[in-house]
Structure 1
Amino acid sequence: MKTRTALLLAILLAPSMAPAAPQDPLAAKASSYGCFSCHGMVRKQVGPGFAQIAERYRKAPAPPEQLASKIRNGSVGTWGRVIMPRQRQVSEADAQALAVWVLSQPPPPP
């Protein structure tokens, strides 16, 4: 009986526990490239959240170009010991669009 109840609960709750599908086309593009495997929208998962990245890079001299380069070429040491692997499958144009999208994220709540 307990097994049936647990199975029924899992079936009923599974759709509500799944991450929401991105509504924003650039969020969907980020999802298609697997960005959400390591990055959350606001807070750190494996790597920093997009809001955290935006907060750090907004004041950089050429933020979209810097971020697009980090997306395609990777980086080490920018966020501690976390390694951002190269993402060569991301085109230059997509890297630029994703960088602009990341920079558009609101700051994380305090």
Structure 2
Amino acid sequence: MNKYAIIALLVISASCSKKPVESAKESNVMLEEPVLKAVDSAAAGKHEGLALIEGTDCLTCHKVDARLVGPSYQEVADKYTDGDIEMLASKIIDGGKGNWGEIPMTPHAGMSKENAKKMVEYIMTLKK
């Protein structure tokens, strides 16, 4: 057999055996922390904490007045006091499990303590 034919067969067989590249691979990279634009939240008449909540994944698991995956914000406000703001802000950043059942709250390690506190301050305004 001709040496060029052998090389062509090797190239063809090598190119046919490659696995397709997975372009939609999952990643565990943290999303960037939401940036609050003071003009936007003030113009909309929103509490800064609510604007931050709306810019994160929080509403995937929590609602203001009904349980979803986690407790409603009203339930959180009713259970805790303003003295718990630091602790609750830390829970947003570090995550947690056990206070509201067995489903853990995912950590938001990229969240600043200041923004987490603003979010908790908004939640505490929902106290009945």
Q: Report the AA paired with residue 45 of structure 1.
A: L
Of residues 99, 116, 121, the one that matches 1:78 is: 99
| Distance apart, 1:71 and its partner CA | 0.4
Q: Report the AA paired with residue 65 of structure 2.
A: V
In structure 2, stretches of 5+ residues that fail to align are 1-43
- 1:66 equivalent to 2:87? Answer yes
Q: Which has the higher helix share?
A: 1
CA RMSD of aligned residues (A): 1.7
In structure 1, stretches of 5+ residues that fail to align are 1-21
- For the 8 Å contact 1:48–1:79, the answer to whether it is kept is yes
TM value normalised by structure 2: 0.60
Bigger Rg over Cα: 2
**How many residues of Structure 1 are paired with residues of Structure 2 in the alignment?**
84
Give the aligned partner of residue 63 of structure 2: 40
> After TM superposition, what 4+ stretches of structure 1 lie above 3 angstroms from structure 2?
none
Alignment of 1:70-109 (within 5 A): 70-107=91-128
| Distance apart, 1:89 and its partner CA | 2.1
For 2:45 and 2:98, locate their aligned partners in 1 and report how far apart those are by CA, in whole Å.
Answer: 32
| Distance apart, 1:47 and its partner CA | 0.5
| Distance apart, 1:102 and its partner CA | 1.0
TM value normalised by structure 1: 0.69
- For the 8 Å contact 2:49–2:120, the answer to whether it is kept is no
